[in-house]
Structure 1
Amino acid sequence: MSTSLQRPDLTPSSTMAIARQPILDAKRHVFGYELFDRSLENKAYSAASDAALLFNLLSNADSEMRNTTKTIFINCTHQTLAAGHLELIEPDRMVLEIPPMPAAQSEPEDIETFLQTMISVHKRGFRLAFDESVMAEAYANWLPLASFVKADVTQVSACELKAIATALADQPGIQLVAEKIETQADFEAARLAGAKLFQGYWFARPVLVKGQTIRPAQAAIIHLINLVRKQASTNEIEEVFKHDPTLSFNLLRFINSAGFGLSCEITSFRHAVMLLGLKKLFRWAALLMTTSGAAGASPAVGHAAVVRGRLMELLAAQLLSPEECDNAFVVGIFSLLDTMLGLPLAEALESISLPQSVTDALLRRTGVLSPFLQLTLACENADDRLFAEAATALQLTGDQVNMAHLQALVWAENITA
C-alpha cells in the first residue's frame, strides 16, 4: 500500500479536522470510535460542522470507511438529521448520536415531531444512540429506536448507572456505553454497574509497577530489533525465531496481512529478508512489540500503537525520506512502549538500539520526527488549538490529516485482524 497522500486544493473542507475517541468492550478490545469535528472554525455552528463531517467521510475517505469493521459514532443535531445528505451515506457500521431536545423545544409535541424523523432514519438502517436522558418518561417513544444509550460517568453516579443498566435489561438490543472513563477504577466501577461498552483514553496510560521487569517474550523482541538494527547475518537472526516460534508466527502474520498488500505469501524469515531487505524489517520488528504487552495491559493499547505508527508514517511521507518514514512508524509504535511494557519510557528504551531521530522524538520531543508525533497525539485529544498549531507547523491541510487518519485506522484493522 502506498504511503503517499494526495495534496488537495485548499477548500472550505480543508478547515475541518477529525478527532477520534475509542470505544472499548468489556475485554478492552476496540469496538469502535467516536469521530468528531474538532476544528476551531466550526465551534460556532455545530449543525454545519456535523453535516460537513459526514460529507467529509463520504467524499474524502469513503473507500476507507467501507473497509472498516469498527463501529463509527457521529454526533448529529436534529437539524442535520433531517438534511438530505444522509441519503448519500451508507448506514453500515454508522451510529448517529442524537441529543435530547433543547429546553425551548422540550414540549411533548416537539419531542413527538422529531420522533418521525428518527423513525425514517432508523428505517434506512442507521443505528441511533442517545444519552441517559432518553430514559426519562418524556422520551419513552424514542427508547425503542435506540441501539446505544451513553451515560457520562462524571454526571451519573454508579448507583444511577446501575439503575439504567437494570432498566435496559429488558431491551436486549440496546447496549449501555459508559463515557468519560478516565481511570481503571472508573472502568471497573462502570463494568460492575452493568455497562457493556466504555469510552475514554484510560487504557493508554502507563501503569508502572514497582519491580516490573521485561518478560521473556518482550526480551526476545528487543533482541531481534537490536540484531536487525546492527545488520546482523540472516542466520544469526533466524536463530531468534527458531527459539521463539510465536515470534516467527506473529512476524509472518503481520507481513502477510492485507495491510502490507503483497502479491505472494512470505513463508519464512529468510524469504522476508530476500523480498524486503533487512533494513525494512526494522519497522516490522518494532510492530511485534504490540503483540506482547505488559501483563494486564489492555488489548486496545497495541491497536492504538499500530494506528499511531501508521498515521505518523503517512503524515511523514510527504516531507521526509523513506528511511525517516520508517523511523516515524517506529516512533508512533514506541510512543506507547511504557504502557506496553509497564516501565518508564526512558527505562524501556535503554536496552533498544534506535536511530537518534527516534529517541529524540520519544524522549525529548525534539528533532525532525517530533512535529509528526505531536500531530499524531493531537488527533486523539481534545486540545483543538494544539491540533491546529501542529498541523500548521507541518503545513498540512485538514483534508490531508483526515485522509491519513482514517487510512491508519483501517490499516491497523487489517494488520491486527
Structure 2
Amino acid sequence: METRDGPTLGSDSGLAGVDAPSGVPERLAHLGRQPLLDRDGMLRGFELLFRGDVENEADIEDADAATAQVIIRTIGEFGVRAALGGHKGYLNASRAMLLADAITLIRPDRFVFELPPDIEVDAALLGRIVQLHAKRYRFVLDEVVLPDATFAKLLPYVESVKVDFSRCSPELLPKLAKVLKSAGKLLIAMKIESKEAFEEAKELGFDLFQGYFFARPQMLTARRASAPRQALLNLLQLLSSDPSVAQLEAELKLSPVLVMHLMRLANSGENSIGRKAVTLRDAIVATGTNRITRWTQMLLYADGRKVPLEDDPLLQLAATRARFMELAVRRLPNANRQVTDAAFLTGVFSLVDAVFGDSLERTLEDLTLSRHIRSAILHREGSLGMLLSAVEALEHGDWAALDRACETLAPLTAAELAELALKAAAWASSSDHTEDSAGLERLEDHE
C-alpha cells in the first residue's frame, strides 16, 4: 500500500510482511543506488548504498548491531519498490547485520547480500550463512581484488563474485575469471566506467556490470535512437517559444516517426478513455504542450530496442534526476512553476552528451537552454547546480559531497534529499508512473 507521501511497510516493502523490529533507535539513514547491467546493457539490479547513523550512540552497547537494525528498518520504511522498481537489490551486509535476528524479515526474493572483503569469518558466521542459505538467501563475495584467506573461506557459500575491475591486476583478471566461471560462479565486474572496460569484461566472461559507463558519450554506438534526434531537438526548440497548435502541427508533420509516437501518447492513459485522437491536431490538443515537452525531453534518451522503460539504464538515470530536481526545488524558498520546470530540464539534460556523442557544452548550446540551466549543468552553479551535485552524490554514495551540497540548500537536509531521490526512483521505475512517460515503453525504431 502507498500513501501520497510514499510507500509504507507492506507486502512489497522488502520485509517479509512483518513490522520493523521494536526498540530500534531513531534512524538517520541515507540511501543511494548504483545500477547493475547485463551483457546487453539492460538494468538487472541496483546496489543499495547506505549511510547509517544512530542517534544517542553513546547509550548503545553495540553500535554496529544498532546500525544494522537501522538499515533493516530503513528498507521497510522506504519500501522495495521505491528503491528498486522491479529489480533485485544488492545489499552490503555487515557481520552484525547477518547475525541480527531482524535480517530474516528481509525478503530473499528481492535482495542479495554482499559480503565485504574485511568481514571476520569464523564458525559462527559460516553457520549463519548456511542457515540463511537454507532460507533461500543468496550471497555475493564483494570487492575482490586478490584472492586471500577470506576469499577462500567464503567462496563455497556464494553464488556470485564481484571483482573490482579498476584494482585487480590485468594479469590476474583472466585467470581469476576462468577459475570462477569453472566453479559455476556468476561474475560481476564493478567500477566499469568506459566502453573499453565493458567490452573487456564481457570478453572475459563477466555476467553483470556495475558502473556508469552507459552514461558516457562513447556508448552512443551501443544505442539505437527511437526517433530522429535532430527532429526531437527542433521540436524542443519550437516548444520553448510557446507555439500555436498550427505551428506544432507543421513541425511534427516533418517527422512521421514523431507523429506516430504522439498519436500513441495521446491515445494512452486516462485521458484517452471514451475518446480517441484521430488526427494530429486532435493529438496535440488532447496531450497539451507541457506534456508534449516532457515526453519529447525523455524520448531523447529512449533506446529503440523495444526494451521496457524500467530496464533502460540511461532513461532511468535521466528520469530519476529530472524528477528529483523537480521535487527538491519545490522545497526551496521562492519556488514557482518556472523554477520547477527549469529544475526538471536541468536533470533531463545533464546527461544529454551521452545521447549525441558531442561535448556537453556544444550540445547544450544547440539546445538553446537558458544561461542559468547551462551554468548549473556545466559548472554546478546556483541552487540548480547544487541540487545536481546532490543527486550525483547520492548516485555514488558520496556522503561528504552530499553534506557539502546541503550547506547551500537550506532548509533541505541530506536525509530529506535522500528520501526525495527514492521517490524520484519510484517515479522513474514504474511504467505507469505518470502520463508524461506514457507511450515511451517498447518504442519501435522506424527510421
- Say yes or no: TM over 0.5: yes
CA deviation profile, 1:76-120 (whole Å, cap 9, x unmatched): 112211212223322223111013564xx55xxx2x432221122
**Greater CA drift, 76-85 or 43-52:** 43-52
Partners in 2 of 1:398 and 1:133 — Cα distance? 32
SS of match in other structure, 2:396: coil
The equivalent residue for 1:301 is 314
**Greater CA drift, 243-252 or 79-88:** 243-252
The equivalent residue for 2:95 is 78
2:351 pairs, out of 317, 331, 336, with 336
**Greater CA drift, 350-359 or 216-225:** 350-359
Contact kept? 2:27, 2:52, Cα under 8 Å: no
The equivalent residue for 2:114 is 97
- CA displacement at 1:135 relative to structure 2: 6.8
1:164 pairs, out of 170, 173, 176, with 176
- What residue identity is the alignment partner of 1:156? C
- What residue identity is the alignment partner of 2:128? T
Partners in 2 of 1:404 and 1:335 — Cα distance? 18
1:27 pairs, out of 22, 28, 40, with 40
Q: How does 1:62-211 map to 2 (within 5 A)?
A: 62=80, 64-65=82-83, 68-100=85-117, 102=119, 105-106=120-121, 110=122, 112-131=123-142, 132=144, 142-172=154-184, 174-207=185-218
Q: How does 1:341-380 map to 2 (within 5 A)?
A: 341-380=356-395
Give ranges in structure 1 of 5+ residues lacking alignment.
Answer: none
Contact kept? 1:332, 1:373, Cα under 8 Å: yes
- CA displacement at 1:334 relative to structure 2: 0.2
The equivalent residue for 2:422 is 406
Partners in 2 of 1:45 and 1:122 — Cα distance? 26
Q: RMSD across aligned C-alpha pairs, in angstroms?
A: 3.8
Partners in 1 of 2:150 and 2:289 — Cα distance? 64
- CA displacement at 1:364 relative to structure 2: 4.4
SS of match in other structure, 2:300: helix
Partners in 2 of 1:256 and 1:164 — Cα distance? 53
- What residue identity is the alignment partner of 1:55? R
Aligned length: 393
CA deviation profile, 1:299-332 (whole Å, cap 9, x unmatched): 6333322221122122223332234223211111
The equivalent residue for 2:72 is 54
1:329 and 1:126, CA in 2 relative to 1: closer, same or farther beyond 3 A? farther
**Greater CA drift, 39-48 or 148-157:** 39-48
**Greater CA drift, 216-225 or 144-153:** 144-153
1:381 pairs, out of 367, 383, 396, with 396
Contact kept? 1:229, 1:353, Cα under 8 Å: no
Partners in 1 of 2:210 and 2:401 — Cα distance? 22
- What residue identity is the alignment partner of 1:186? A
Partners in 2 of 1:262 and 1:23 — Cα distance? 33
> TM-score by structure 1 length?
0.79
Among the aligned pairs, what percent are the same residue? Answer: 29
- CA displacement at 1:290 relative to structure 2: 0.9
- CA displacement at 1:272 relative to structure 2: 5.4
SS of match in other structure, 1:54: helix
- CA displacement at 1:130 relative to structure 2: 1.0
- CA displacement at 1:58 relative to structure 2: 1.0
Partners in 1 of 2:241 and 2:102 — Cα distance? 54
Contact kept? 1:72, 1:93, Cα under 8 Å: yes
The equivalent residue for 2:340 is 325
**2:31 is the alignment partner of 1:18:** yes
CA deviation profile, 1:335-376 (whole Å, cap 9, x unmatched): 011222111222112232434543342244334422222212
Q: How does 1:226-241 map to 2 (within 5 A)?
A: 226-241=237-252
Give ranges in structure 2 of 5+ residues lacking alignment.
Answer: 7-23, 305-310, 432-439, 442-447
Partners in 1 of 2:26 and 2:215 — Cα distance? 31
